[in-house]
Structure 1
Amino acid sequence: MISIIIPVYNVKLYLDNCIQSVIQQSYTDFECILVDDGSTDGSSEICDQWAEKDNRIIIVHQPNGGVSSARNKGLEQAKGEYICFIDSDDWVDVDYLSAMINNLKEKETDLIICGLTQEFKDGNCIDYIPQQSLNFELGCNHTNYFVMLNEQNLLYGPIVKLYKNNIIQHHQILFDPQVSYGEDLLFNYQYLEYAHTIACINESHYHYRILGSGTLSSKFRPKQFDTDYQQWKILQSFYQRHHLWSSTAQTYLYKRLWGILYDGIFLYPRLQNKKISYLRTILAIPEIKKLKDFTQCFSCSNWIKQSILYRLYPIFYIYFSIIAKR
């Protein structure tokens, strides 16, 4: 049986569509756990109404504690052999579960990943799909496959995946309620510590609704650099410990680090307390020495790259001071 966990918080406009797509699945051996996280817009009542219609739907009402708390509550209630997460403003195709469970019948694996389709309000969509269907073991011989999943952003959230519940329960893997940004990535990499095999399906059966601009930059996070950099080090450590530290992996990770540095520096004008020590701290990280080998991986003005490589934080301070006076 598959336990589908759906955290619910004030999604009245989209919740019916999400639940309808679940109960219409061609694969029927599942329980659907709706965790109402203190909704105030009528979503709670919608959950209760669906529970009356289908006995596979289980409702948990709790005070608002955030999406991580809701997902953890779902894991606590889950009785299935496998775990699947769906966001309450998204929807899935009728063959979403069967596409993943059928892969298990072919070859036992610890984690199954399929593609997703981003759905924008204007009707446009973007597909993120594994390049090919395959099963592989984590290790040096398959680094390229693992990097591919990261590059396509398919390892950063809990959606479009089928997890083994016994791995989660045995190792007490949970979402951290204290982390509000990047908690999904931390959960996945905790799980990957105990996963030996991964299966990819080069199909998209999950529709990810983009309600805002679709960019992380639309939300101001004053400590974004600290969070991104700490999580980058977690990824680096994982790659190195699991014998994935190939040239392909390093190119991917150092390109990512270039982006983290760039975003952190250009966050400076939006900070309330603008201090030059903020820029100095960013450019003090030891990995900048290694970035010199990957200058072609990231696109930005050459003066920015040179200022980063030579840790010329006063250049950025002067630049932002001039911009502010315009």
Structure 2
Amino acid sequence: MKNNFMISVITPFYRGNKYLQQLFLVIQKNYMHLKKEFPEANIELIIVNDSPYDIVEIPKIKIDFSFKIIDHEINSGIQQARVTGLKACSGDYVLFLDQDDVLVDDALLSQVRVLIAHNAEMVICNAYMEKKDGTSYLLYRTTTDFLMLNNLTFYLKSHNIIKSPGQCLIKRQCIPVEWQRYIMKTNGADDLFLWILLLEKSYKFAINKEALYIHKYTGENLSESEEKMTISSLEIVDCLKKVDYVPKKDVYELKRTREFSLKLRKEKGLKRVLIMVRNFDLVMYLGVNKIKRKLF
């Protein structure tokens, strides 16, 4: 790995001026830590304004990294904002960081170290999840949790175990063109779409067990709504059908599990029991994995 690398932090902006000072401070602190160990490395922040009628208000604080703002003419959704930023960035590595996300001060340095050590295409860190009452919990707590991160079947048959792209530092050249081409209309699961494509291409996810990312509770987090995320996940099915290296059986499994999840939420009593009986293999798969997470 060369020492004069660039990290591009890509942030979709939507009515997010209240978060910008925090965002700039997070990047500045990470920039300072990164430069101590890699003096020739750099960070750029790319803010993609997906609020056509809002002006991005740059905080008046001292920063040493470069940044640029790209304005969408119309609201295009979070995936398109990420893709717009990706096409405009110069980085060797990419971090998709949401406007309300928080990183610890040396997060990027820690992520780079793990990428170097494992020669991987992407690194995933642990995270603290903030709850409504202000308390937080560790996202990955067992050996099984970490093992699932490289398990394609789990993403297809269960859920997206990566809470946010902000946990992931990715080699830019590895991001599939299909993810940039097929833009989802429903916000929420474009990151799951990306992880599935990367795993289908047999790319290696390195695991950083340090908790470097903090998922802040804002009351607006789309990922808090399981039903909305499931509906968004179903849209991935149509996208995957267009990708020639994704097996049909994997597309089928994703579709079946998400439809099962939606039906299970809508029905009660006997109808719910019948749905579970007809999909007993999924019930067993999910049940066994819950037990594993508790034991290991």
Q: TM-score, normalised by structure 1?
A: 0.64
Q: After superposition, what is the alpha-carbon deviation per residue over 1:273-292, rounded to whole angstroms, capped at 9, x for unaligned?
A: xxxxxx9xxx99xx974x23
**Count of matched residue positions in the alignment of Structure 1 and Structure 2:** 263
Check whether the contact 2:230–2:261 (CA below 8 A) recurs between aligned residues.
no
1:263 CA drift (Å): 2.0
1:181 CA drift (Å): 3.7
Check whether the contact 1:8–1:39 (CA below 8 A) recurs between aligned residues.
no
1:203 CA drift (Å): 1.5
Partners of 2:47 and 2:129 lie apart in 1 by: 23
Check whether the contact 1:113–1:154 (CA below 8 A) recurs between aligned residues.
no
Residues 214, 243 of structure 1: alpha-carbon distance in 2 compared, 3 angstrom cutoff: same
- Does 2:82 align with 1:46? no
1:211 CA drift (Å): 1.4
- Does 2:164 align with 1:165? no
1:159 is paired with a residue whose SS is helix
Tell me the amino acid that sits aligned with residue 165 of structure 1: R
- Does 2:280 align with 1:292? yes
Report the counterpart of residue 87 of structure 2 in structure 1: 76
Residues 213, 122 of structure 1: alpha-carbon distance in 2 compared, 3 angstrom cutoff: farther
Which among 15, 36, 39 is matched to residue 10 of structure 1? 15
Q: Which has the higher contact order (CA 8 A, sep 6+)?
A: 2
The structure that has the greater radius of gyration is 1
Residues 106, 166 of structure 1: alpha-carbon distance in 2 compared, 3 angstrom cutoff: same
What does residue range 174-323 of structure 1 map to in structure 2 within 5 Å?
A: 174=180, 176-212=183-219, 227-229=232-234, 231=236, 258-265=260-267, 289=278, 291-293=279-281, 295=283
1:46 is paired with a residue whose SS is coil
Partners of 1:189 and 1:14 lie apart in 2 by: 30
Which among 119, 132, 144 is matched to residue 130 of structure 2? 119
1:103 CA drift (Å): 0.8
Partners of 2:142 and 2:286 lie apart in 1 by: 23
1:182 CA drift (Å): 1.9
What does residue range 96-135 of structure 1 map to in structure 2 within 5 Å?
A: 96-129=107-140, 131=142
Tell me the amino acid that sits aligned with residue 292 of structure 1: F
Report the counterpart of residue 70 of structure 2 in structure 1: 60
Q: After superposition, what is the alpha-carbon deviation per residue over 1:12-62, rounded to whole angstroms, capped at 9, x for unaligned?
A: 2222112211111111422111222236565x1226x56x84452222223
Percent identity, aligned pairs only, is: 22
Check whether the contact 1:37–1:62 (CA below 8 A) recurs between aligned residues.
yes
Residues 95, 148 of structure 1: alpha-carbon distance in 2 compared, 3 angstrom cutoff: farther
Report the counterpart of residue 45 of structure 2 in structure 1: 32
1:59 is paired with a residue whose SS is strand
Check whether the contact 2:19–2:99 (CA below 8 A) recurs between aligned residues.
yes
1:195 CA drift (Å): 4.0
Q: After superposition, what is the alpha-carbon deviation per residue over 1:54-109, rounded to whole angstroms, capped at 9, x for unaligned?
A: 45222222333222221111101111111111111111101110111001221211
5+ residue gaps in structure 1?
136-141, 245-249, 267-278, 300-326
Residues 131, 90 of structure 1: alpha-carbon distance in 2 compared, 3 angstrom cutoff: same
Check whether the contact 1:258–1:298 (CA below 8 A) recurs between aligned residues.
no
Check whether the contact 2:123–2:169 (CA below 8 A) recurs between aligned residues.
yes
1:121 CA drift (Å): 4.4
Residues 61, 225 of structure 1: alpha-carbon distance in 2 compared, 3 angstrom cutoff: closer
Aligned CA RMSD, in angstroms, stands at 4.5
1:21 is paired with a residue whose SS is helix
